[in-house]
Structure 1
């Protein structure tokens, strides 16, 4: 499933061709939404916003499209109106005179008045967006101390969208590795310095992933590995997906475990349990 950085990058691509443009054609692949095509046709997109893993496309007629890619959804932007060949199901098509923005495979799509978005079931429970440029490490450190979150294991907390919207499986492993914290530890057990380090790592890793298109390694290390002609998937992450491989920091073997059927990776040397 794409995480906050990937959804924000997709939103940027869509905004580049839709914002301030008249929507000349609208098509919904889900029968329950087809009536909204007439409502949105001829309007202008004012903003493409992300909240966690959800994307909100706002129109100047007071309506918004909520979409969540879930596991299989993917956006494509093409020049002109000729759609690319695809075996995926078309769920949403927004066209301007010059471009087409297409959402394939996703099924979690809604159209509603913009003013009613706070009542959407997903958005109503969502924590601060990890990609919000106004989010600070102090905001995150403060949430780590709050009652709903402080006694939960970091491994589960860092997948909870009510804690921080946009966090996901690879970000969880990478953030905890960067902070040097074992996944089974709890915020209430951390020192003030450890909470601050975790909060800073949360922003550092997620924003680096956004800036690089999915690489969480420090730029110098990423460049060094690239010069060795490693495949991209082997030079993206510190821990995630690197089970049984040596840690880039200490050389210890990265451990892979599972939590609720989802892979979790950590270094036992850099992220001690105590």
Structure 2
């Protein structure tokens, strides 16, 4: 399931390519046809994300709400303008996994090895921006390029629930858990049920809300971090990595956490989410030298402490990483470092 950083990245591409433009909305599959008619031809006025939920506002006051769930993905095609806010501080796009659309990335400190960092799983094969300009890019948990389209607009591929189309850019949605047109009151209801999201405004009130909620709950912290009413956007990868980084036993009840520990979790989520949005990668290892950083960006196995490392020695203590099932999801942790 796409975690919060992916949804924010997708939303920013809608802001860059659709907001301020009239949008044709259709449902090639047919399942979204009646809702699509409500916003077809309207100007998109806002693109907003909270956690794993995305909201696209139209000039008639209606909103398209999308939750990708386990299998959803957006395909973007056309003359895509990539959001400049995703660029790193040195002016280059970060180590993203949008093949065919971004500038080469560099390791920390701007070393002289400015060649692209290619992900071994094919998630991060980079070429110069605009090569090709008319491209097709899938955005979900892994952002991968498809073949450039020979026609415009491109023919729908597979079961496309919703198609959003301007003169220059096409966005196809397939496989979402939720795809509906709702009014502003309903948007407010959905957001009110969600926990705070640092990328939606990291305020002292957000931090305090998280800390207070966690510290009054008897539920174990590994489940609380995945509860979208407690905090928005955290999924299985970030959950495992945050708990390891805090050296926190995943079975600790929330109400047993010290205030300092709970605040530390929130602040680490602020840090990791920002990195994920900027780079497109769930990089959770800090203080790597240039060579280690490039290796980590090229291979997921080198950029996480515990996630998907069951049976392998802990990078810190050598104890084998444990895999268990908790709440229907896989949990990875070190029984020594997190004892």
Q: Same fold (TM over 0.5)?
A: yes
Larger displacement relative to structure 2 (240-249 or 214-223): 214-223
Residue 331 of structure 2 aligns to a residue whose secondary structure is strand
Which runs of no fewer than 5 residues in structure 2 stay unpaired?
80-151
CA 1:147–1:19: 2 relative to 1, 3 Å: closer
TM-score (normalizing by structure 2): 0.71
Write the distance in 1 (CA, Å) between the matches of 2:192 and 2:30.
25
For structure 1, the 5+ residue unaligned runs are none
Q: Give the Cα–Cα distance (whole angstroms) in 2 for the partners of residues 147 and 195 of structure 1.
A: 7
What pairs up with 1:63-212 in 2 under 5 angstroms?
63-79=62-78, 81-83=152-154, 86=157, 88-120=158-190, 123-132=191-200, 134-136=201-203, 139-146=206-213, 149-212=216-279
After superposition, the Cα gap between the structure-2 partners of 1:147 and 1:100, relative to the gap in structure 1 and judged at 3 Å, is closer
Alpha-carbon distance in structure 1 between the residues aligned to 2:272 and 2:224 = 17
SS of residue in 1 equivalent to 2:8: helix
Deviations 1:208-234 (A, max 9, x none): 222221232335438433555895221
Structure 1 vs Structure 2 CA RMSD: 2.6
Normalised by the length of structure 1, the TM-score is 0.86
Distance 1:15 1:188 in 2: 40
How many residue pairs get aligned? The number is: 267
TM-aligned CA distance change 1:32 to 1:149, over 3 Å? farther
Query: Which one of the candidate residues 330, 334, 338 is aligned to 1:263?
Result: 330
Cα distance between partner residues in 2 of 1:138 and 1:65: 28
**Can you list the C-alpha shifts for 1:167-218, whole angstroms capped at 9, x where unaligned?**
2111111111111111011232122322222222222222222222123233
Runs of 4 or more consecutive aligned structure 1 residues displaced over 4 Å after TM superposition: 29-32, 226-231
More helix by share: 1
- What do residues 121-149 of structure 1 show as CA deviations (whole Å, max 9, x unaligned)? xx4522222432x2247733543333885
The answer to whether the 8 Å contact 1:143/1:149 transfers is no
Pairwise CA distance, 1:84: 6.1
